[in-house]
């Protein structure tokens, strides 16, 4: 999907814990011509945890966290439902507009919008973003510093020029992204602090598909998602022969990540010099797992003894 919805992992210094950067994000997805998929979906997330959901099938905004059910009354969800229903109409119209400009009136199409803010709880630094995509590619994005819209595609220039001239909209967007959004983020962090501000350490597993496959270090069940997983040799981080993976969500709200290491050219006697290191934001001590063949879980088939035939 290009650079549009790529989540940037928050590096912990050179691998040192830093202050937590919190986020409030909303994702809108309008689609046409995709079977068994709602034509419009909205999801709200705090620190990448879903807090609200609406789609064009159920036509009702609903909470996705227990603390959201307890802190926001029925009137709030009625209001949000009306907003999402109105937004649904706008986005369906946007599909027609963009597809016509790109001369792509046939086939399935998707328009996406991601907007929200980030807040550093130590420095107080705030960042806001508002980005649109079409069929998985960047279409137009708001530059908060220059207060202008960026159009990577020529077809988006009409929208850019129109929105750049709308000073009232620009100031409204800026106020929301740098103030209103941040206030809502802080409110949600307070309401859901027992869930959102918790720290959960992972389970670490060493895996190998076959005897010749790379060794995978897999960390799962951790929270928050600001974590690092890497290999070291004699205490020095390795880059050659390493294939790092992305942090992915688990169904229970925790996260998982894996990193592979090619050990095919390493003598068996040297395996003990390698470690898998996991670091979690806010936790001072690393979790270090030494590479030990006896600890590896493998899918390699064991040779079965052929039964005797009488």
pLDDT of amino acid 299? 64
pLDDT of amino acid 281? 85
The CA distances from residue 137 to 44, 50, 153, in Å, are: 21, 24, 9
Domain with CATH 2.60.40.10 in the chain: 203-297
Average pLDDT over residues 90-94: 89
Residue 167's pLDDT band (boundaries 50, 70, 90)?
Answer: very high
- Read off φ and ψ for residue 88, nearest 5 degrees: -55, -45
Q: Going along 234-273, which residue ranges are E strands?
A: 236-237, 242-244, 248-249, 255-261
pLDDT of amino acid 300? 55
**Fold annotation for 203-297:** Immunoglobulin-like (2.60.40)
pLDDT of amino acid 17? 41
pLDDT of amino acid 6? 30
Residue 48's pLDDT band (boundaries 50, 70, 90)?
Answer: confident
**Average pLDDT in the chain:** 88
Closest to 114 in 3D by CA, of 136, 135, 126, 129: 129
- Dump pLDDT digits (tens) for 206-235: 999 988 899 999 999 999 888 999 999 999
Residue 15's pLDDT band (boundaries 50, 70, 90)?
Answer: very low
- Dump pLDDT digits (tens) for 94-147: 888 888 877 777 778 899 999 999 999 889 999 999 999 998 899 999 999 999
- Dump pLDDT digits (tens) for 249-307: 898 889 999 999 999 999 989 999 999 999 998 788 999 999 998 999 986 544 433 34
CATH number, domain 21-196, options 3.40.630.30, 3.30.1300.10, 3.30.500.10, 1.10.10.10 = 3.30.500.10
- Read off φ and ψ for residue 75, nearest 5 degrees: -60, -35
How far does CA 113 lie from the centroid of its chain?
14
Q: Which two tokens stand for residue 196?
A: 């959102």
Domain with CATH 3.30.500.10 in the chain: 21-196
pLDDT of amino acid 36? 87
**Which contacts (CB < 8 Å, 24+ apart) does range 150-159 have?**
155/98, 155/101, 155/102, 158/101
**Tally of helices (H runs) and strands (E runs) in the chain:** 6, 18
């Amino acid at each position: 999907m290009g650079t549009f919805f790529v989540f940037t992992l928050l590096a912990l210094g050179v691998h040192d814990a830093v202050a937590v950067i919190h986020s409030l994000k909303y994702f809108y997805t309008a689609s046409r011509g995709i079977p068994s998929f709602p034509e419009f979906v909205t999801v709200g997330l705090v620190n990448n945890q879903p807090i609200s959901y609406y789609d064009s099938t159920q036509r009702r905004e609903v909470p996705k966290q227990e603390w959201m059910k307890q802190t926001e009354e029925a009137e709030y969800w009625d209001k949000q439902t009306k907003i999402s229903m109105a937004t649904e109409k706008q986005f369906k119209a946007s599909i027609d507009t963009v597809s016509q400009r790109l001369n792509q009136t046939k086939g399935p199409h998707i328009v996406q919008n991601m907007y929200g803010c980030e807040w550093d709880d130590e420095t107080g630094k705030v960042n806001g973003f508002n980005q649109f995509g079409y069929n998985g590619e960047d279409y137009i994005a708001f530059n908060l510093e220059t207060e202008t819209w960026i159009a990577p595609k020529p077809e988006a220039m009409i929208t850019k020029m129109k929105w750049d001239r709308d000073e009232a909209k620009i100031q409204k967007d800026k106020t929301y992204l740098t103030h209103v959004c941040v206030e809502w983020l802080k409110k949600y962090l307070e309401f859901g602090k027992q869930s959102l501000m918790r720290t959960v350490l992972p389970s670490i597993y060493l895996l190998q598909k076959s005897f010749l496959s790379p060794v995978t270090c897999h960390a799962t069940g951790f929270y928050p998602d600001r974590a690092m997983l890497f290999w070291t040799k004699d205490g020095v981080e390795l880059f050659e022969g390493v294939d790092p993976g992305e942090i992915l969500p688990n169904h229970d709200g925790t996260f998982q990540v894996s990193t592979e290491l090619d050990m095919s050219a390493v003598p068996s006697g040297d395996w003990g010099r390698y470690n898998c290191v996991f670091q979690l934001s806010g936790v001072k001590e690393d979790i270090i797992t030494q590479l030990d063949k006896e600890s590896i879980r493998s899918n390699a088939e064991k040779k079965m003894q052929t039964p005797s035939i009488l």
